[in-house]
Structure 1
Amino acid sequence: MTRILHLSDLHFGFERKQLVGPLLALVNRLRADLVVVTGDLTHRGRPGEYRKAAEFLDQITAPVMAVPGNHDVPLYNIPVRFLIPYRNYEQAISPDLSPTRQAGDVRVFGVNSVDPFTVQRGVLRPKDITGVIAGLDPLATNIVALHHPMEQLPQVDKELARNAPQSLASMAQAGVQIALSGHLHLYDTDMLMAVTAYPEILQVQAGTALCDRAGDLQNEFAVLDINGTELTIERHIAPMDQQGFQPPLLQHYSRASGVWVALDRDTETLPGATETVFRTA
């Protein structure tokens, strides 16, 4: 079994300060084989925010890989945003914006989906998708990790990343089995599974791990325990009106038939984890 811990949307600079310590302690206690961070490590891409983010990541005992999010490029410093948008990220986090990592029988491909020329909307570049497909391991569980979802529910009014539908189709056909993303601050697997045309890929859209935005009703992260064609997801949730994380909720999936099927779970995935996801923020 390989354990992948999925964090997203930390938003240092606008983080829920009292949750930073409990989150770090729980992440280390869960002993993941790899921690994957799908963007928005900072709130405005400022050096001080990156120092906080880097300090947090440095204290994680498991191997860590990350990709940038749209909040990780400066919003107000226009020359930097357009000319050297990833300078702070590269200095504080990693010069590799699209890393690839192997953990046991799992291979994770990071994809930089940020478009510095837009505030929010992302882009999936064909050369990056071609690179992922070329590196797929037919004997492994292949995961792609990016900030912007490749598919979203109709009621979400944030614009889908450019080239997302074509990229999702190409990767499903090529053999990617799981996609990890963030951006929406709303956890989902099952609602997308019910409407997607590509059940070969389980899309795990993360909630926000630390953002203290008033409309977010909870912080959370997910742990994926992967055992061949079987998958268990633990959702660790910290409601905004409570201290710390609740006992995890469990979701079980199988792709033994060639497509993902949801098995038993502790609870249904419900909308409403955030009040702002269904309108542009």
Structure 2
Amino acid sequence: MTRIAHLSDLHFGFHREDLVEPLLERVNGSGADLVVVTGDLTHRGRPGQFRQAAEFLARLTAPHMAVPGNHDVPLYNIPVRFLRPYADYDEAISPDRAPTGAAGWARVHGINSVDPFAWQRGVVHEDDIGRVLGSLDALAVNIVALHHPLQQLPQVDKELARRAPEALARFEAGGVRIALTGHLHLWAVGSLLGLGHPHLLQVQAGTALCARLDDRQNEFAVLEIEGDDLRIERHVAPMDEAGFRAPELLDFTRGEGGWIELETDRGITP
């Protein structure tokens, strides 16, 4: 059994300060073998915000890996965004913006999907697709981790990252079984299975700490992987409550036809 905590969109600099300690307590108490952070560690990519993010990561008790999000490059400082977009990220978080991680059954392949020249949209580069496909472990559950989703629900009005549909199809055909993403501040997992890619389960996280009231809640997930079975614990902290509720449980299994969601005692969710 392997447990992976998935956090996204921390937005240090515009975050719920009162939720930092409950989040650390819940993540550190989750029994995670690896923590994966899929971007937007900061709100505006400023040095002080990166220091806050780095201090948070340093307090995680499990090994962690992170990839950048579009908020992790400067928005308003145009010369820096074009010439040295990752300088502060590299110094505070890691110069490896496409890390890999291993934990038990799982191999996690990080991808930097940020496009500094199209700040919000993002891109999946051809080189990254080839790198991931060339490094898959046939004996493991292969996971990709990136900030921008590879697919979106019909009601989402943001522009999909360039080359995302191609990446999704090639990853699925090549043997990637799970994708961890963020960006939308909108939770989606089972609802994506009916959109044509049943062999690659997409876990789109909400925001772990952002204080934007329109998001209504903060959350993160813990994936428990055992062979072809997956349990997801969704930990939710509504904006008008002091901490995290008991987790909602979602169970999936993978067969010849791909992933299917099982009936589960779902626990508590808002």
Which of the five TM-score ranges fits, normalised by the shorter chain? over 0.9
Displacement, 1:256? 2.8
For residues 242-275 of structure 1, give each alpha carbon's deviation from its aligned partner in whole angstroms, at most 9, with x where no partner exists. 110000000000003350000013449x9xx9xx
Give the 3 Å change call, closer, same or farther, for CA 213–235 of structure 1 in structure 2: same
AA in 2 matched with 1:174: G
Per the alignment, residue 88 of structure 1 pairs with 88
Alpha-carbon deviation of 1:158?
Answer: 0.5
**Cα deviation digits, residues 101-120 of structure 1 (max 9, x gap):** 11112100000000001121
User: What do residues 94-143 of structure 1 show as CA deviations (whole Å, max 9, x unaligned)?
Assistant: 00000011111210000000000112101000110100000001110000
Q: Unaligned stretches of 5+ in structure 2?
A: none
Q: How many residue pairs align between the two structures?
A: 270
Contact map agreement 1:230 1:256 (CA 8 A) in 2: no
Residue 222 (structure 2) aligns with: 223
Alignment of 1:54-73 (within 5 A): 54-73=54-73
Question: d(CA) in 2 for partners of 1:147 and 1:43?
Answer: 14
Give every structure 1 segment of 4 or more consecutive aligned residues whose post-TM-superposition deviation is greater than 4 Å: none
Gap runs ≥5 in structure 1: 274-281
Corresponding residue of 1:6:
6
Q: Distance in 2 between matches of 1:86 and 1:266?
A: 43
Query: Which residues of 2 match residues 79-228 of structure 1 at below 5 A?
Result: 79-194=79-194, 196-228=195-227
Q: Percent identity?
A: 64
Aligned-partner SS, 1:89? helix
What's the CA shift string for 1:12-55, capped at 9, x where partnerless?
00000100010011111112100000000000000000000000
Q: Does 1:253 align with 2:252?
A: yes
Amino acid at match of 1:236: H
Residue 191 of structure 1: how far off its partner (Å): 1.2
How far apart are the structure 1 equivalents of 2:134 and 2:52? 35
- CA-atom RMSD in angstroms: 1.4
CA distance in 1: counterparts of 2:214 and 2:266, whole angstroms: 22
Shift of 1:154: 1.4
Q: 1:171-217 CA deviation, whole Å, 9 max, x = no partner?
A: 000000000000000111011112x2111000000000000002011
Q: Normalising by structure 2, report the TM-score.
A: 0.98
Q: Which residue does the alignment assign to 2:29? A: 29
